[in-house]
Structure 1
Amino acid sequence: MRASRSRWVRSGRLSVRFDVRALGVVLLLALAALAASVLLVGTGDFAIPVPDVLRTLAGGGDAGQEFVVRELRLPRVLVGLLVGGALGLGGALFQAVSRNPLGSPDVLGLGQGSTAGALVVIVLFSGSAAEVALGALAGGLLTGLVIYLLAWKRGVHGYRLVLVGIGVAAVATAVNGYLLTEADLVDAARAVVWMTGSLGGSDWDQVWPLLGLCAVLVPLALAHARPLRMLEMGDDIASALGVRVERTRLLLMLAAVLLTAAATAAAGPVGFVALTAPQLARRLTRSPGPNLLPALVMGAALLVTADWLSQRAFGADQLPVGVVTGVLGGVYLLWLLVAERRAGRI
């Protein structure tokens, strides 16, 4: 019989159960994300060695290093961590609710819906960067509402949610293509750059709203990890165990939609992080259940690492981070589809 990896910590009436392996994976991924962040801060035309980066972050750098690190590069890294974490957690929530490894915002059309909202603002109103972000947030929320309503039939179930999401994604993609054909050259170029997904140009004005939203939604999602794990066993079992099934599902879907839409509003539609992060986290922890915290940290580590690769792997020809995640995520999606087919699940 396999020994249990779980541990209990008791203090008076309070007891907390945690998985030792999962906790170790979270700590290692957090260290990897921090290491990649330090490397990313030091990367650029004005290269800064790692010791100088650490000294500057601690307040001991010279004036030039202080400006480059704190004003130019640190906001980009923080946005990358927040966007990656939000996408990883949002993907884990969607996959757990749908009980389907393909049930991620990339497949369900949330990214395409947010893109449609942003394109409406860019093409029809020539809006500012802040207005484009609001348009992307509104588009993601509206798309999530449409998917939920169309998938509802005495509850929302996994494959119906995925199939409806694929249909909505196709419609949103068609709308996006039409908007691009109606745009003038300047707006079309601006829209294409935004649609690629990039952390370039990130500043503190993007950090604070995203940080505030994550400060509310992340604890909310983590607090529902136990009922979410029961939902994965089926609605009847979860209801028998005292879970208010539809209320919990609606609340967690709303949190996932907000996380995904906010991440898209901040960095554009960065592809496949929401799909791959939860799956990689589950394989590392070897633990059943939604693995929300490991997925969050995995998403943050993936995105900042991909951003570092986009700046270092191609020399002067830097790529938007969405290109790197799209290539890596596309390869992973093909592998996942083959694995699911061999297992007889699709």
Structure 2
Amino acid sequence: MLRGPAGTSLRVEPRALTAGLVLAAAAAVAAVVLVGTGDFEIAPWDVVQTLLGNGTPANDFIVNDLRLPRVLVALLVGAALGMAGGVFQAVSRNPLGSPDLLGFGYGSAVGALAVIILFKGDANQVALGAVLGGLLTGLAIYALAYKQGIHGYRLVLVGIGASAVLVALIQYLLTKAQVVEATRALVWLTGSLAGRDWAQVWPLLVTCGVLFPLVLSQGRALRMMEMGDDAAYALGVRVERTRFLLMLAAVLLTTAAAAAAGPITFVALAAPQLARRLTRSPGSNLLSAALMGAVLLLVSDWASQRAFGSDQLPVGVVTGLVGGVYLLWLLVTERKAGRI
């Protein structure tokens, strides 16, 4: 227990702290390796030297102008999805309560595809459409799931139903697209980090910089809510207000990630679960989930560039492959435990 000013205290669990430090170090190492990966290989030490301003002009251009923005987008998108997944799983009290399965990613996809196919919008307008689509979907799911409060089981059911409707809308929009728009839409739907530059980094960095502290500040209330609404009320938590605030922040993180890189699947589902198994700590483990999400996406992006020979896959394909196997494993283990 660490004591702070004015009698405040902060409980620090050694294993959770160690796990967080390990994940942060893993994310840093993965980022350095990924920056050095490409047709022109750069050794990790040279990458570090270049980032510190001591690199050659050629390395400086490749690292800072070409590769660093992509790596930062991967890190921030992974962290945003990991934290958003942790919030939704804690709010719904369900390991399957992920933005991927609740429809928020599909909402962003409908918004982006509407801009691409119906309005022929540019990249900035597509990003705005993804954000608006995700927000409107989040508000609709919240309104439909609300009945004297939000309960996890009803939230998951409404989210799955919304996902089915939104998938149908995506398919309808694709049938209305010309060849060029359809190709562009399919590339966006796959989820990719290719071609990302500083224009995607700064909005994502600001969003995470504002929402991460907000979500983490509600961590104590979220842990109480996991014990049940009645217990949280008794402990002085304004349950519905806190739940709405957390869900809104998680939806914004999800839509910001989709706007920057498209709908990257399964990171939000897997990261909180893996973080909880690593820390062996009760509660949502939001910071560990964010760090785990960053590590997962960085490693997946490296695999998308190096694990398939000369063919470079969109990172969304890799996360989908790995995430599908993980989802099957999670369903089997949850069924054996009698939780589903």
Give the TM-score category using the shorter length. over 0.9
In structure 2, the partner of 1:137 is 131
- Give the secondary structure class of the aligned counterpart of 2:11: strand
**Residue 333 (str. 1) matches residue 316 (str. 2):** no
CA distance in 2, matches of 1:65, 1:245: 52
CA distance in 1, matches of 2:177, 2:4: 62
**Residue 264 (str. 1) matches residue 254 (str. 2):** no
Question: 1:12, CA displacement in angstroms?
Answer: 5.5
Of 142, 148, 170, the residue aligned with 2:142 is 148
Of 217, 220, 225, the residue aligned with 2:219 is 225
- Give the secondary structure class of the aligned counterpart of 2:265: coil
Q: Deviations over 1:219-265 (max 9, x none)?
A: 00000000000000000000000000000000000000000010011
Of 296, 303, 310, the residue aligned with 2:297 is 303
**Residue 184 (str. 1) matches residue 178 (str. 2):** yes
Q: Deviations over 1:152-197 (max 9, x none)?
A: 0000000100000000000000000010111000000000001000
- Give the secondary structure class of the aligned counterpart of 1:33: helix
**Residue 126 (str. 1) matches residue 147 (str. 2):** no
CA distance in 2, matches of 1:94, 1:27: 24
CA distance in 2, matches of 1:344, 1:55: 52
In structure 1, the partner of 2:164 is 170
- Give the secondary structure class of the aligned counterpart of 1:189: helix
Q: Deviations over 1:239-297 (max 9, x none)?
A: 00000000000000000000001001100000000000000000001011010000010
CA distance in 2, matches of 1:188, 1:132: 14
Map 1:227-266 to 2 at 5 A: 227-266=221-260
Q: Deviations over 1:44-83 (max 9, x none)?
A: 1111111111111111111111111001100000000000
| Aligned partner letter, 1:92 | G
CA distance in 2, matches of 1:324, 1:168: 25
- Give the secondary structure class of the aligned counterpart of 2:327: helix
CA distance in 1, matches of 2:264, 2:161: 20
CA distance in 1, matches of 2:45, 2:303: 20
CA distance in 2, matches of 1:76, 1:305: 13
Question: 1:9, CA displacement in angstroms?
Answer: 3.7
**Residue 72 (str. 1) matches residue 66 (str. 2):** yes
Of 182, 187, 194, the residue aligned with 1:200 is 194
- Give the secondary structure class of the aligned counterpart of 1:319: coil
**Residue 92 (str. 1) matches residue 92 (str. 2):** no
- Give the secondary structure class of the aligned counterpart of 2:303: helix
Which 4+ residue blocks in structure 1 deviate beyond 3 angstroms? 7-12
| Aligned partner letter, 1:40 | L
CA distance in 2, matches of 1:153, 1:335: 33
Question: 1:10, CA displacement in angstroms?
Answer: 4.6
- Unaligned 5+ segments in structure 1 are 1-6
In structure 2, the partner of 1:3 is none
Question: 1:314, CA displacement in angstroms?
Answer: 1.1
CA distance in 2, matches of 1:320, 1:25: 29
Of 267, 281, 285, the residue aligned with 1:273 is 267
TM-score, normalised on structure 2? Answer: 0.99
Of 313, 326, 343, the residue aligned with 2:337 is 343
Of 191, 201, 209, the residue aligned with 1:215 is 209
CA distance in 2, matches of 1:12, 1:136: 44
Question: 1:14, CA displacement in angstroms?
Answer: 2.7
Question: 1:11, CA displacement in angstroms?
Answer: 5.0
**Residue 294 (str. 1) matches residue 284 (str. 2):** no
Question: 1:13, CA displacement in angstroms?
Answer: 2.0
In structure 1, the partner of 2:42 is 48
